[in-house]
Each structure stands twice: as structure tokens, then as C-alpha cells.
Amino acid sequence: MTTYQMRFLETSELADALKALGADMRSLPFFSSRSHMRTLFIPRADVRAANVIKQEMLSRGGDAAVHAHAIDCGVSHSDVLLFGTKKQLELLADKLETMTWWGLPDIASDIRKALASLCKKTKTAVLPCGSKLNFGERTLVMGIINLTEDSFYCKSRTGGSIDETVKRALLLSEEGADILDLGAESTRPGSSRVPEDVELERIVSAVRAIRKELPSAPLSIDTTRAGVARAALEEGADIINDISGLAYEPEIARTTAESGAMLVLMHMRGTPETMQSMCQYDNILLEITRFFEKGIDQAASYGLEPSRIIIDPGIGFAKTYEQNLFILKHLEAFQTVGLPLLIGASRKGTIGIATGSKEPEGRLEGTLAVSSLCAWQGVDIVRVHDVAQNKKALMMIEAVKGAQYA
């Protein structure tokens, strides 16, 4: 007898396997909820609640890791790591809801929200230009166009030349870019701000010119200024990419909502000038997730629906080399937010350190590896300088992911 391990990336593949062995197909939901173990992190639970959760998970065939002194209540609170299948976690939530003490109903609610978000579904967003972005089918490619003279990768720069900007937009579109991202202010570490009137002129002129050539191409604007965002949206932009995550000018959320556009909330601290001195975290995945939750609530207060938001953990922004790698290793942490995920790591310093490439020009291969990693983990958008090369790498990953059960 020969035995081998199977890991099903999608329910459809599990369905094919069940069909091949002649199982009753009505059993698919049953096996789907038990097909793999999930790990959920719960911060600072009342120690009594942590002990209850531990026992309840053990009784269901799962488990929970708690503080070593939780059992004797030697601490007042404990983080909890839950280990269980979707079914086991659902049953745990059912039980905790009936216990009206120690915050257990709130924990049950958080577990349910996390599980609902982890059941990723295909979503379609209609943009002001009339085009649609389909999230969940494949990883989309966002091509970078820097309307500056000092962005860290020289080949992405078009400076103040509208002709060069349009030329690059046409090239990236032809190479398969799903979204074009225009930025008129460098945000590399240590960079200083450009005057708003300069950023405004660059962006408005670029959007106006590109729209004439590419009327239905999804256009993203990399800005933290509400005035620039408003002007760009009036000229036909579709997405505002706010690297501050609404920390600078939260009015951007209202402007985005009123135009029917989408908003990218990126995590960072400080400014590009100061951010690399602000890399201290107790739990980086937890703190970034809480940042997103706060930003989503803040955007909602300005009238922007969560369904119009994309999240970005901000690779290279107020993070060390090791922290950037850790985030890339654990992108699944942000799936519980339940919104499309964007990763922008193209040719950045982390790739340079990992591959021994001092200059951005030597970081293409590392970028392709990161983009492939993102596609395998189901990231919705990768923001890159080299569209054609990244597109082919993603096509290969998607081909493997889509291989039929045999």
C-alpha cells in the first residue's frame, strides 16, 4: 500500500477528488470544513476565558496554546493561539456565545468574522471609468509610473514629460497591466515632500493625457493629499492609493466615496523622512491589522463603504528587513480583514539585501520571486515596475494553481 499527502488549495479541487473516488457529493461541505487546520491568534483574553477556550478546543479535537501560567491564573490575561479546522472553530464559537462572562461572546464574534473572511469569494468592483476589477480570480498587476525625477528606480521615472508618461502608460497597458499607478511625489526612505501645486499639476496633466489614449484603463493615483485626489478623480482617475492610510488627510476618504472610486489603505508610520526610525513593534501582524480596522472605520465615517477599500501592509515603510520578510511570509494574517490585498515590494531594498543586489537595477529576479509568492498566497494585486516579466511569472503560478485533479 502506498500513501501520499494531499493539500487542496480550493474547494473545487477537493470536489474533484471526492468525485474521482466515488464519494457521495453531498459530503463536500462536510469535508471542506475539515480539510485543513486553521490557526487564529486572539490577543489578551481574560485568563479565565483563555482556560475555557483551551478546554473547549481540546474537547472538539482541536487545541489552543495559552500562557504557561494561565492554568494557575498567575497572569491576568493571555494571548491565545487556536488550532482547529473550520468546523471545530465554528463549534467553539457556538459554545462561547452561550457563556456571557469574561468577554467570551465577543471572542466568539471575532472568530466568526475571521472565518467568514477566510472563505474567500470572488468580488467585482466597478470603477468610474466603466471597467471592472475582479478580485479572487487571479493576481492583478499594477504598473508603476513615477512622474518624478527622483524615484528610487530610474526606469520608472517620466519626470515632467507628458509624452514620456503617455508612452510608458501605453507600454505597460500593452504588456498586460490591469491597473496603472501614477505618483508625482517620491516616497522612498528619506525623501522630502514636493509642493502641492507641483504634485497637482503633474497628476492632472498626466491623467488628462492618459485618459485620451486609454479611456477605460483603471488609473490609480498615489497621493496623500485630498486636493490632489479630488482633482485627479475629476479628470477620470479610479483609485486613490494613500500611503498614509488616512493618517495625513482623512478627507481623502470622503472625496473617494463621492466619486465612486476605490481607496488603498497602506500601513506606515511617520513620513518617508522619519519612518525608518519607527520600526518598533510588539506584534507587527496584530498592529498592522488593527491599523487597517481603524482605517476602515475612519473611512466609513466619511461615507466610504468597506467594499471600496484595498489594504496594503506597506513593505519597506517603517519596517526593517527582517520585518518585511516576516510580513511576506505571513500574508495570510491579513485575510481576516476580508478585503483585497495589495503588495508593493518591486525592486525595494529588502529584495536587494536578500539577493545581494545593491542597486535597484539588479533586483528583477527577486521581485519576480516575491510576486510569485504573492500569487501563490492569493494576493489580489502586486504593484510592480516591470509588467511584462511579472505578468509571465504570475501566469505560470496561476497555471499551476489551476491544474486539474488527476
Q: Which residues are catalytic?
A: 348, 383
What is the C-alpha separation between 325 and 122, in angstroms, rounded?
28
What is the C-alpha separation between 236 and 233, in angstroms, rounded?
5
Judge contact between 254 and 215, C-beta under 8 A: no
Q: How many CA atoms lie within 13 A of 226 on its CB side?
A: 13
Judge contact between 334 and 293, C-beta under 8 A: no
The residue with cell 485533479 is 405
What's the grid cell of residue 14?
477537493
Mode of pairing for the β-strands spanning 140-146 and 179-183? parallel
List, in sequence order, every residue forming a beta bridge with 310; answer none if it has no partner. 264
Length of the chain: 406
DSSP conformation class of 143: E
Q: How far apart are the first and last CA of the chain?
A: 19
